[in-house]
Amino acid sequence: MPDSSAVHFTNAFDIRSVGCSGDPTMFEAFWRETGDAAELVIPGWQTMSYFSDVGNVCWFMEPLFDQQVRRLHRTVGNAAVDGYHVLVGTGSTQLFMAALYALSPADADQPTSVVSTAPYYSSYPAVTDFLRSGLFRWAGDANSFVGDSYIELVCSPNNPDGAIRDAVLSSGAGKAVHDLAYYWPQYTPITRRADHDIMLFTVSKSTGHAGTRIGWALVKDREVARRMTKFVELNTIGVSKDSQLRAAKVLGAVSDGYDVGGGGASRHRLFDFGRRKMVERWRMLREAAAASGAFSLPAETSGQCNFANETAANNPAFAWLRCDREDVEDCAGFLRGHKILTRSGNQFGADPRYVRVSMLDRDDAYDIFISRLASLK
């Protein structure tokens, strides 16, 4: 999601300023180089019907999109697809809401509690509560939750701090939704094929096409898949087919880059580009934080990446930066005073001494951020 604090800005320059939103514009440089591999022409008569595949649980999903999602997961090995229903949503944000709807019992006396371990993605509480649903409500940090009936949101690698996470609650009546938006080789080693009941993904973070507004869910249970589909039907009657076809084209181009067996492997390899960039940016950031002496960062972790076949570091899409100066309690305010826009830790259920900084901005903006940060004492 765009930075929710950004909507309060009136000045477009502020919105685009260094480090604040999670806009994945870093990937533009890659897609500029791929020629027509991800280009798409849609004739005027195409994609006009509401329907795509009436035999599928997700009747508005383009079969080509379904195929390319499964193909990419098989290529990367980050999630199981056999035996799963694929569902398409307008961003994974819509599917997150669909999951809350599908997992909340309609006949419960009380709204179902929605929890996540702090620091949690700031949109979870905002999206859960903005319509004041009678079905579910935000109940904060999963670690302090007491009760049997809940929906736990598990984001791994985690937004904002990049931590690798598992569910912390385990009651029989509880449900988990795994948000795997960042479980891709540019950000983290692919250590296992995830096979949770509900897994959410998005092109916003995998390929950088946030503006296409396409996400997908891998769902084991047919009834849950049916209810999630019902939510999207009631909410938007389906998902833009034009966007689905574009996403299918883009995902296909990514898989083609690694299609060694099919002979189609190209020199345009998204995850190689992404990993190179992230390694370089994290190196720059750690050097700048050390030069400044005023900030600390989470320790680097690494693991064996089954996709790259080598040991790889965790290079999160966000930096969870702590201001170590004794006289600074509001790190976001302090950085804003030095022309660095970040999102405060308190929006993630954490201490305001922490801020979240996007690592996915364009090179020029990222370079300015680094030089400003390094000069702070």
Min CB(30)–ligand PMP separation in Å: 18
Does position 347 bind ligand PMP by CB under 6 A?
no
- Please choose, out of 85-93, 107-115, 240-248, 295-303, the segment that lies near ligand PMP by the rule CB under 6 A: 85-93
**Contact in structure between 88 and 237 (CB atoms under 8 Å):** no
Q: Which is nearer to ligand PMP, 152 or 179 (CB)?
A: 179
Q: Which stretch binds ligand PMP (CB under 6 A): 88-96, 189-197, 330-338, 359-367?
A: 88-96
Distance between CA atoms of residues 48 and 323, nearest Å:
52
- How far apart are CB 217 and ligand PMP at their closest, in Å? 11
Return the residues of window 16-55 that contact ligand PMP according to CB under 6 A.
22
Between 98 and 288, whose beta carbon lies closer to ligand PMP?
98
DSSP lists the bridge partners of residue 113 as 137, 150
* Min dist. Cβ of residue 46 to ligand PMP (A): 24
| Rounded Cα distance, 126 and 223, in Å | 27
Helix (H, G, I), strand (E, B) or coil at 234: helix
Stretch that binds ligand PMP, among 7-15, 202-210, 293-301, 324-332 (CB under 6 A): 202-210
Please tell me whether residue 342 binds ligand PMP under the rule CB under 6 A.
no
Half-sphere exposure of 134 (CA within 13 A, CB side): 4
Nearest Cα residue to 315 out of 307, 303, 306: 303
**Tokens at 147, concatenated:** 């009760």
CB of 108 to ligand PMP, least distance (A): 26
Residue with the two structure tokens 């083609």: 256
The nearer residue to ligand PMP, 202 or 288, going by C-beta atoms, is 202
231 binds ligand PMP (CB under 6 A): no
316 binds ligand PMP (CB under 6 A): no
Positions in 93-132 near ligand PMP (CB under 6 A): 93, 121
Instruction: Give the separation between CA 13 and CA 94, rounded to whole angstroms.
Output: 28
- Binding segment for ligand PMP among 60-68, 90-98, 185-193, 366-374 (CB under 6 A)? 90-98
210 sits near ligand PMP (criterion: CB under 6 A): yes
Query: What minimum distance in Å lies between the beta carbon of 210 and ligand PMP?
Result: 5
The answer to whether residues 278 and 35 touch, using CB atoms and an 8 Å cutoff, is no
Q: How far is the CB of 215 from ligand PMP (least distance, A)?
A: 4
Rounded Cα distance between 283 and 291, Å, is 12
Q: Can you tell me the distance from the alpha carbon of 302 to that of 313, in angstroms, rounded to the nearest whole number? A: 4
CB of 87 to ligand PMP, least distance (A): 13
Give the 3-state secondary structure of residue 28.
helix
Radius of gyration over alpha carbons of the chain, in Å?
21
- How many Å apart are CA 96 and CA 198, to the nearest integer? 10
For residues 55, 229, 72, 187, the Cα torsion angle rounded to the nearest 10 degrees is 180
Q: Token digits for 190?
A: 């692919």
159-198 positions binding ligand PMP, by CB under 6 A? 159, 179, 181
> Site for ligand PMP (CB under 6 A): how many residues?
14
Q: Which residues bind ligand PMP (CB under 6 A)?
A: 1, 22, 91-93, 121, 155, 159, 179, 181, 202, 204, 210, 215
